[in-house]
Amino acid sequence: MEVFRICKEEYSGQIKASGSASRWNVQGHNVIYAGSSRSLSTLELVVRRASIIPILNYKVMVIAVPDDDNIISHIYSSELPQNWRTLAAYSRLQEIGTRWYTTQKSLVLKVPSAIIPYEYNYILNAEHPDFNRSVKLVRVEDYFWDKRLL
């Protein structure tokens, strides 16, 4: 399957984790967030940045990962706390992500989008033994901000 990551141009040449904390991981855990579509990845970027910054050059990374059941773990929204979409739930979601990351249960964690119901994001564990063999950068595409969004 292909997943999509939008990032600044300078970071688009290789699949690399920053180790920065986010919704599903704590600081120091090397994970890569990607969306199930370019449009979901766009919305995730806007929410994370809290604005659109059209002067920065962005690229879309198209990343291939196997969609075998043994490579992907799935978190369903029904398994999450009632307030899982809020900032107040971050610590609980980070606990779930930490458990997945440290046990290396799977290479990929499929999680519900907090922005768009019934759509999913994918978290790739860059420290998983299968990462280098299974995760591939297919291509890098140009990205632009439609002026109507600004």
Q: Taking residues 118-143, what's their average pLDDT?
A: 96
Q: Residue 144 has what pLDDT?
A: 84
Number of H helices, E strands in the chain: 3, 7
For residue 50, name the pLDDT band (cuts at 50, 70, 90).
low
Q: Residue 45 has what pLDDT?
A: 86
Q: Residues 79-128: pLDDT tens digits?
A: 999 999 999 999 999 999 999 999 999 999 999 999 998 999 999 999 99
Domain ranges of the chain: 2-149
Strands (E), the chain: 2-8, 31-35, 58-64, 72-74, 108-112, 120-125, 136-142
For residue 74, name the pLDDT band (cuts at 50, 70, 90).
very high
For residue 150, name the pLDDT band (cuts at 50, 70, 90).
low
Q: What percent of the chain has pLDDT over 90?
A: 78
CB 3 within 8 A of CB 35: yes
- The pTM score is 0.92
